[in-house]
Amino acid sequence: MDARYKSREIERRSLDVDGLKRSFLEWLVYSVGKDARAATRRDWFHTVALAVRDRLVDRWMDTTRTYYQQDAKRVYYLSLEFLIGRLLTNSLANLGITDQCRQALDRIGLNLDDVVEAEPDAALGNGGLGRLAACFLDSMASEALPGYGYGIRYEFGLFEQRFEHGWQVEYPEQWLQFGNPWEFPRPEVLYPVQFYGRVEEFRDSVGERAYRWVDAERVLAMAYDTPVVGYGGDTINTLRLWSARATRDFNFGHFNDGAYMKAVEQKVLTENLSRVLYPNDATEGGKELRLKQEYFFTSASLQDILRRYLQHHSNFDSLPDKAAIQLNDTHPAIGIAELMRLLVDQHGVLWDKAWDITRATFSYTNHTLLPEALEAWPVRMMERVLPRHMQIIYEINAKFLNRSKARAAGDNARLSRLSLIDERGDRRVRMGNLAFLGSHKVNGVSALHTELMKQTVFADFHAEFPERINNKTNGITPRRWLHQANQPLAALITSRIGNGWIKDLGQIKALAEKADDLVFREEFRRAKRKNKKRLAAYIARQTGVDVQVDSLFDVQVKRMHEYKRQLLNILQAIALYNEMRDNPTVSWVPVTKIFAGKAAPSYHMAKLIIKLINDVAKVVNHDPSVHDNLKIVLLPNYNVTAAEIIMPAADLSEQISTAGMEASGTGNMKLALNGALTIGTLDGANVEIREHVGDDNIFIFGLTAEEVNDLRASGGFNPREVIASNPSLKRALDMISTGVFSPDDPHRYHPILQALTDGGDHFLVTADFAEYCEAQQEAMDLYRDQEEWTRKAILNTANMGWFSSDRTIMEYATEIWDVHPVKPEHPAETEG
Ligand code: D6G
């Protein structure tokens, strides 16, 4: 090879400061096409990202090649959402070249932190479910598991949230506007995906009845690959996202004048399929485009999975030994009917055999018990959009109900609950039931949630298949959520126990004994204070509000939803505000209430609660009589990047959902790992967090899931009585209803007050109010004793090791997928 090329090839791999610097300068000129004088911050971001990307491509190829060579069993994580956030910091840290990169940029006169700021936040998800998928990708790569993510390359991610006069207003999030240096377009990886049309019956070559789907509309799914760097950079997996492309017919057909414009219009409409992420955190049923998105990415992914499998195999017998497909919620559940279609209609596999293969390949994660959030597609829509799948679903259902009939012994109500079709009203396909039936394992995402699944939504299925439901408590990646997001604390931990915790978070337990060490406590506090200063500056930039760094940072960040009860939090804030005004001579613990979160654009109640928080903040923050002892801020546009600033700075973590309604939560884990004390109900993973951090280091209050259930069932709950008997609650509500916070529109909050009274207070805000205020008081009292508070904060960090997504993912790998770590071979490196 020409020496010039050889040296460039080596340089592409070089991880030292000089090599990086030379690459940066070269990339800026030859790929970004700018010279240093004219380069913007964004140009530098693209330059650095491309140079870093160079350094992982070889290992990416090696990883893929090793999987092929060993014909390893792969796991395919199908998810409609991947909330990955920015990738530069993550790639640098996982490759272990953050410091080198910082120095290389230094030598060019640039600051890495500024460059990082130019990266858009990839918000291809709504909240917990999508962020979980992103943490799982990180953990699979870090645990050397052959894992692939499959999803949609939305052109517009989750909307950008701004506040205008305190109201949420949505703007498009154009994350791809300036290009995405991390992705590799694969225009040759194209699969046809069909919609509509009809099903034709015919006799196959041996005279058997067979079906084909004809007269359908075709869309092409085109792949974009993003490398997923595991910690240490040894394993680099693939996230494959699909983008919709019109078929070539649109481009090359012969049209007369009118038809030409129509055809181009049609092309645009077709490609709308991957244009935008649905901004709902609980599915809004009945939207045809959503059904098409789900089928689009699922079908393309399955075709790709079978194509890869067939490179090594000539029949489908060992598909379950080579591929595990995980359904992240019911969004890809149509995949069960699709795999049946591909196996039976396209590859001639017999029905019963295809069904065994399908069930052995799929597994399903349930994320919610809320009945309104369980997907159910109108039969009429399914028949029109996916006619062959509807037939297949009927067939699966008929066989299943036939089998169950004998056991049901005339219990028709039970049979109709087990059915894949909800026959009440306009008939609907229950995607949860399909996912359950077509999977060999079904899991919940926290111990409590899994128990409740057995007792509620899937009680009948659980009786039918008692081995199928299992629990996999969610986790978070310690790389992004501690090592990268909280550098002051990460450095302190490493200085005491080494850096083994980054890969094996269980090691963090060793910090527990340092909780009694005065010097360590002082340093722990100093790290927290640094993070709080950073957040305070961010708050000032975003909202114009100055907050005291030494106040108690009380944080509730998550989607705006009635069951998450931001309303309970703001009511307590009003009560505290009143107390402070009534007792001006008391020396109050200064408190900063920090909220952030988006509401689904059509969720009026959640949007009204946003407005209420902003209205209350305006009054409280400008009232000199509380002497800055209380500040309330609602940060706009909560996303992964904002979370990385907020999580490390929190003192108190609000996890106050109505018990039984939050499946797991992962924000609760991020905050506790970063040394926040939780104030929470016994809901979701809070239950397990309490078990790990200990009862003394968490503030638990409120009704339990069982009590909530009993209270609702008894019908005896009267919120008006509760309000009447609690003067501080009554006063807070009176202030809202008389327009103290909305003088321009005193009736603005009528719907909220109505829901809390005549509406029966479904989320039991009033029922939990008194205990919540007591728990808040306890937290404030404890905060006065900084030594004791810090001790408990350290014990939180030290005891959160179990909540690493590495632990979660290894449980999936061994108990559901039967997938094992594969160490990639790196021939170029071993050749020297
Ligand atoms: C990823 C990684 C790359 C590989 C490509 C195709 O982009 O190394 O060549 O996937 O892999 P298969 O989809 O053919 O397995």
Which three-class secondary structure string do you get for 308-339? HHHCCCCCCCCHHHHEEEEEECCCCCHHHHHH
Dihedral angle sign, alpha carbons of residues 654, 657, 658, 663: negative
State yes or no: is 670 an active-site residue: yes
Q: What pLDDT digit, counting tens, does each position of 663-695 carry?
A: 999 999 999 999 999 999 999 999 999 999 999
Q: Quick one: which of 54, 53, 62, 13 has its CA closest to 823? A: 62
CA of 64 to the centre of ligand 1 (A): 6
Q: What pLDDT digit, counting tens, does each position of 541-591 carry?
A: 999 999 999 999 999 999 999 999 999 999 999 999 999 999 999 999 999
- CATH class of this structure's domain 486-814: alpha beta
Q: Quick one: which of 1, 276, 304 has its CA closest to 150? A: 304
* Token pair 């020409």 in the structure block, residue: 2
CATH 3.40.50.2000 maps onto the chain at: 71-86+121-472, 486-814
Residue 6 pLDDT class (50, 70, 90 cuts) = low
So what's the pLDDT on residue 260?
76
> Ligand 1 pocket: which of 53, 64, 186 to mutate (most atoms <8 Å of CB)?
64
> Ligand 1 pocket: which of 238, 301, 304 to mutate (most atoms <8 Å of CB)?
238
726 pLDDT more than 70: yes
ipTM over 0.90: yes
Taking the C-alpha atoms of residue 432 and residue 366, their distance in angstroms, rounded to an integer, is 8
Instruction: Find residue 556's DSSP bridge partners.
Output: 595
Q: Given 298, 666, 678, 681, which residue is catalytic?
A: 666
Q: How far is CA 768 from the centre of its chain?
A: 28
Q: Find the angle CA(505)-CA(506)-CA(509) to the nearest 5 degrees.
A: 110
- Residue 449 CA: distances (Å) to CA of 136, 365, 472, 610, 720: 19, 11, 10, 28, 31
CA-based radius of gyration for the chain: 28
1 pLDDT more than 50: no
So what's the pLDDT on residue 672?
98
Position 607, amino acid: K
* Token pair 């490179």 in the structure block, residue: 311
> What 3-state class would DSSP assign to 282?
coil
Q: Given 21, 670, 792, 807, which residue is catalytic?
A: 670
So what's the pLDDT on residue 155?
97
Please give the number of the atom of ligand 1 that sits closest to the Cα of 60: 8
Please give the number of the atom of ligand 1 that sits closest to the Cα of 184: 7
CA of 341 to the centre of ligand 1 (A): 25
Q: For ligand 1, atom 5, which residue shows the shortest CA distance? A: 64
Taking the C-alpha atoms of residue 138 and residue 135, their distance in angstroms, rounded to an integer, is 5
Position 413, amino acid: A
So what's the pLDDT on residue 9?
58
CA of 330 to the centre of ligand 1 (A): 27
> What 3-state class would DSSP assign to 639?
coil
Q: Enumerate long-range contacts of 174-180, CB under 8 Å, 24 or more apart.
A: 175/120, 175/121, 175/122, 175/123, 177/120, 178/42, 178/46, 178/120, 179/46, 180/122
In order, the DSSP letters of 230-254 are PTTSS-EEEEEEEEEEE-THHHH--
> What 3-state class would DSSP assign to 68?
helix
138-142, 558-562, 715-719, 804-808, range with the lowest pLDDT: 715-719
Question: How confident is the prediction for the chain on average, in pLDDT?
Answer: 95
Q: Quick one: which of 667, 609, 678, 608 has its CA closest to 638? A: 667
Position 618, amino acid: K
Q: Given 46, 367, 468, 479, which residue is catalytic?
A: 367
So what's the pLDDT on residue 226?
98
Q: What pLDDT digit, counting tens, does each position of 211-256 carry?
A: 999 999 999 999 999 999 999 999 999 999 999 999 866 554 555 6
Q: What pLDDT digit, counting tens, does each position of 252-281 carry?
A: 455 566 677 777 888 888 899 999 999 987
Spatial CB neighbours of 585, under 8 Å, sequence gap ≥ 6: none
Residue 778 pLDDT class (50, 70, 90 cuts) = very high
Instruction: Find residue 85's DSSP bridge partners.
Output: 122
CA of 130 to the centre of ligand 1 (A): 23
Q: What pLDDT digit, counting tens, does each position of 420-442 carry?
A: 999 998 999 999 999 999 999 99
State yes or no: is 564 an active-site residue: yes
In order, the DSSP letters of 599-616 are --TT-HHHHHHHHHHHHH
Q: Given 290, 479, 559, 807, which residue is catalytic?
A: 559
285 pLDDT more than 90: no
CATH topology of domain 71-86+121-472: Rossmann fold (3.40.50)
Q: Quick one: which of 420, 414, 339 has its CA closest to 375? A: 420
Answering whether pTM is above 0.90, one says: yes
